[in-house]
Structure 1
Amino acid sequence: MNWNDCEMFCHVVEHGGFSAAAHYLGHPKSSISSAVQRLEQELDTRLLERTTRSVRTTEAGEILYKRAAHLFTNLHEACNEALSSRREVAGTLRIAAPYEFGAHHLGPVACRVMETYPHLQLQIDVEHRQINPHVEPYDIVFAMLEHQLPSSSIVIRRMFSLERGLFTSPALLRQMGQPLHPADLKSWPLVVSSADTEWTFTDKDGVDHGVPIQNPRVISANADFRLQAATSSFGITRVTANFCAPAVSRGELVRVRLPDYTCEPLRIYALLPGKRMVPEKVRYFLEALAAYSHALR
């Protein structure tokens, strides 16, 4: 049996299709398809049912994947572990992060890590969309998760909990008046993220109060644009306190505090492909980020 073909098949199953597997591996889609075809011919059985929209395993394919996939993972991990004792932290560390977090927190950590490991390259992409680390070739994907967590095949590490608050322009606050309860925000024009479905506030007894997002004035995944909209009196926005601190210090924004209520914090998670062994470059970066987070407290 050609074990390379078998590993290609496992990648197709893991990533949910030929195109995704080819993108992750950096191989032509045709070579991935040929590898699976050779494997099916050698085993004399169909392993995948293919349609124009999806790929799913047959019973035989499911058995092979469950028995073989972890063997390839273990093999790669064993080789990496054997080399790690003599290998320096080098190569390219690929990171994706949302703008609000990446622009203000990853920069200092990235510079510190590059100073420590001069042969390490960093690629940091600021993204507004949700990224699956199984499909796209990132070593770390930082995500702002509030409700639904990704599949259990992804390793999730909570890294940050950032203070959030309500901010608006002084002029709009004078016009609308000081809100006293989360429900009062229903009469305000809202400037929201495209991922927002409700804003949650916790009272002094620990009870959560949700404000549904209905007919907001501005919707944008870009935190900078939301800040500009709030500064221009188009509404009230929910954002991390450190992100808008310069605008507050200039008097362009004011923080709106609801008596006896706190705004739900922004929780940042590191999403890693579901493998037991974390590469050295990933481990060192996460350790540096954890130390930076601790220093901010």
Structure 2
Amino acid sequence: MNWDDFDAFCQVVEHGGFTAASRALDRPKSSLSASVARLEEQLGARLLERTTRRLRLTDAGETLYRDISKPFSQLRELAVDAVAKGAQVQGTLRVAAPYEFGAHHLASVTCRMLARHPQLKVQVDVEHARVALFERHYDIVFSAIEHSFAPSTVVAKRVYSLERGLFASPELMARFPEFAGPEDLNALPLLAGGEDTAWAFNGPDGSVNVEVRNPPLRSGNAEVRLQAAMAGLGVARITATFCARAVAEGRLVRLLPQWECAPLRIYALLPGRRLVPAKVRAFLDGLEEEAAQQGNTSAPA
């Protein structure tokens, strides 16, 4: 028996198919297919039903996976822990992040990591929707954890607290010359995030919560809200770094700068392993260095 064939079978099931497993493992799809075919021949049973749209476990495959998936998962974790004990940064680092954070805060760190560590590969998936925690075997998932539930098997570490502000086009604000404070926001169209119900502010007169009522646009995609704000369709609450270019070009103006919006808190979520791999430690250290240079807050959760 070739135990690698058993592991290949488990990986294909866990990743939902040969293509996804091939990409995650950096292993040829043909090699995984050959492993599963060899295993089926040795066991004398069909394990997977392959169709053009999806992969389905047969009864024999489901029984085998139930019996062997846990020990193979434990062996993989032990292997990761063994590598983590070493100081060398190598292998493939898989990262997922929401668009508003990933597009503007991960590129420079990723480039520095690749320059410093030639044996490292980095896969960064920038998602517009909320990222499913470790469904695709990520090493780090960045998430606005205030809107997420982190299970006990996940370790949460805060990396960034990003400044947010209110932004609108000059043309829109010309139509509302009396606008002066948060209490006036309900007279304007508000461009809401996917889960926004209220916007919190701290300012000269204390704390204020503004209810987000019937927004003409609701999207978790910050780029969509940014484009809508520049088109004069409403007021958007977005991170300042994401809007910096539009402000510099005069396409957006910042509203109520004397009032502080609740920041966007981004956490790094890690699988709850006993040891953190060197590649993950190095990446988080690089992010914290950049946060300090940019003046963003960064602290353990």
Q: TM-score, normalised by structure 2?
A: 0.70
Amino acid paired to 1:75: A
Question: How big is each residue's C-alpha offset from its partner over 1:71-105, in whole Å with a ceiling of 9 and x where there is no partner?
Answer: 23213532x256x25xx445665655444334543
The aligned counterpart of 1:256 is: 255
The aligned counterpart of 2:179 is: 178
Give 1:8 shift. 1.3
Give 1:20 shift. 2.6
Amino acid paired to 1:58: E
Q: Is the 8 A contact 1:99 1:126 kept in 2?
A: no
The structure-2 alpha-carbon separation of the partners of 1:63 and 1:163, relative to structure 1 and needing over 3 Å to count, comes to same
C-alpha separation in 2, matches of 1:237 and 1:249 = 17
The structure-2 alpha-carbon separation of the partners of 1:155 and 1:13, relative to structure 1 and needing over 3 Å to count, comes to farther
Show the 5 A alignment for 1:96-175: 96-110=96-110, 113=113, 117=116, 119=118, 125=124, 127-130=126-129, 134=134, 139-149=139-149, 156-175=156-175
Give 1:240 shift. 0.8
Give 1:65 shift. 1.3
C-alpha separation in 1, matches of 2:107 and 2:34 = 43
C-alpha separation in 2, matches of 1:40 and 1:207 = 64
The CA RMSD measured in Å over matched residues stands at 4.3
Q: Which runs of 5+ in 2 are unaligned?
A: none
C-alpha separation in 1, matches of 2:91 and 2:33 = 29
Amino acid paired to 1:23: R
Could you say what secondary structure the match of 2:158 adopts?
strand
Q: Is the 8 A contact 2:24 2:137 kept in 1?
A: yes
Residues 1:242 and 2:241 aligned together? yes
Q: Is the 8 A contact 1:185 1:211 kept in 2?
A: no
The aligned counterpart of 1:58 is: 62
Could you say what secondary structure the match of 1:167 adopts?
strand
Amino acid paired to 1:169: S
Could you say what secondary structure the match of 1:172 adopts?
helix
Q: How many residues align?
A: 286
The aligned counterpart of 2:75 is: 71
Could you say what secondary structure the match of 2:12 adopts?
helix
Q: Is the 8 A contact 1:162 1:267 kept in 2?
A: yes
The aligned counterpart of 1:23 is: 23
Q: Is the 8 A contact 1:11 1:21 kept in 2?
A: yes
Q: Which runs of 5+ in 1 are unaligned?
A: none
The aligned counterpart of 1:293 is: 291
Question: How big is each residue's C-alpha offset from its partner over 1:46-92, in whole Å with a ceiling of 9 and x where there is no partner?
Answer: 766888645456345313212332023213532x256x25xx44566
Moved more, 162-171 or 39-48: 39-48
Give 1:246 shift. 5.0
C-alpha separation in 1, matches of 2:28 and 2:4 = 15
